[in-house]
Amino acid sequence: MSNRSEMHLKSLKISTSSASWNSAGFHITEVKPKISACVLNGVLLEFDNEPSEQGIYAIGTESIDGDIDGLNFFIESTEVKETHLDSRHPNFVSRIDHLVVTTSDCDRTTKAFEEAGIEVRRVRNFSLGTTGMRQTFFWLGDVILELVGPEVKSDDELTKIWGLALISEEIEKTVDFLGDFATPLKPAVQPGRLITTIKTKVLGIDDALAIMTPHKNRG
């Protein structure tokens, strides 16, 4: 089994127009023909410039290759050099807090992750209306992999990527920059943190994007 120090999120492949993300304040650079990219605290976000309506479609680490319960993992061997890609973004976002994926069967997906060496760190149960729900938290280096699904299996649908929660140390400036493309700041579920949501559908971004203040115990 891999431990946290060995299992890092290195990159995400995204089949969405990089111009849409640029409109949301991410500094994106063309790195090779038909490929653009940006970096968030060492994680490479790579955009296809001939996108489909898919959003984030592949997760790069240094040690997992293949399908895990419907998610496409690949081995990313390239070290991101932040000197080549500007890690400062006009929207003041600095890093990824967590990658959120959804499942119809928490037990099945958790087992698949654990068999691949992705270890459970914490489980939280909550209710959504009358439905019991479960959040299971894993680590991919400094990024949380958050699995969300029903406490009781609902069907046989495979795991899907839902979106990202991002971090801004200057979230008021983030909201000011995004203007009408962001929801008003409100308290997050985690005590002491604030959150805003980017109106991604308006911008043509396929994944959900939330921006939060940093963890109190992580800076």
In a domain? residue 1: no
User: Is residue 148 within 8 Å of residue 135, measured between CB atoms?
Assistant: yes
Cβ neighbours of residue 53 closer than 8 Å, sequence gap 6 or more:
15, 206
Same domain, 97 and 20: no
Tens of pLDDT, residue by residue over 155-208, are 889 999 999 999 999 999 999 999 999 999 999 988 899 999 999 999 999 999
CATH of the domain at 119: 3.10.180.10
Same domain, 99 and 71: no
In a domain? residue 22: yes
Same domain, 108 and 42: no
In a domain? residue 69: yes
Same domain, 109 and 171: yes
How far apart, in Å, are the Cα atoms of 77 and each of 67, 73, 184, 194?
18, 13, 39, 35
User: Is residue 163 within 8 Å of residue 199, measured between CB atoms?
Assistant: no
- pLDDT given at position 148: 97
Q: Which of 75, 108, 125 is the last residue of a domain?
A: 75
Greatest alpha-carbon span in the chain:
50
Question: For the chain, how many structural domains are there in total?
Answer: 2
Same domain, 105 and 196: yes
In a domain? residue 200: yes
Q: Token pair 């984030």 is at which residue?
A: 56
* Enclosing domain of residue 187: 93-212
In a domain? residue 67: yes
User: Is residue 196 within 8 Å of residue 174, measured between CB atoms?
Assistant: yes
Same domain, 136 and 62: no
The structure's pTM equals: 0.91
Element (H, E) at 110: helix 106-115
Same domain, 131 and 180: yes
Cβ neighbours of residue 55 closer than 8 Å, sequence gap 6 or more:
14, 15, 16, 161, 163, 205, 206, 207
Query: Angle at CA 72, nearest 5°, toward 70 and 73?
Result: 130
Same domain, 105 and 187: yes
In a domain? residue 58: yes
- pLDDT given at position 6: 62
In a domain? residue 85: no
Segments in the chain below pLDDT 70: 1-6, 49-53, 80-83, 217-219
In a domain? residue 2: no
Same domain, 194 and 140: yes
> Positive or negative CA dihedral for 149, 70, 52, 92?
positive
Same domain, 115 and 206: yes
Same domain, 40 and 97: no
Q: Which of 25, 40, 75 is the last residue of a domain?
A: 75
Q: What is the DSSP letter of 158?
A: P
Same domain, 53 and 137: no
Q: Which of 22, 49, 75 is the last residue of a domain?
A: 75
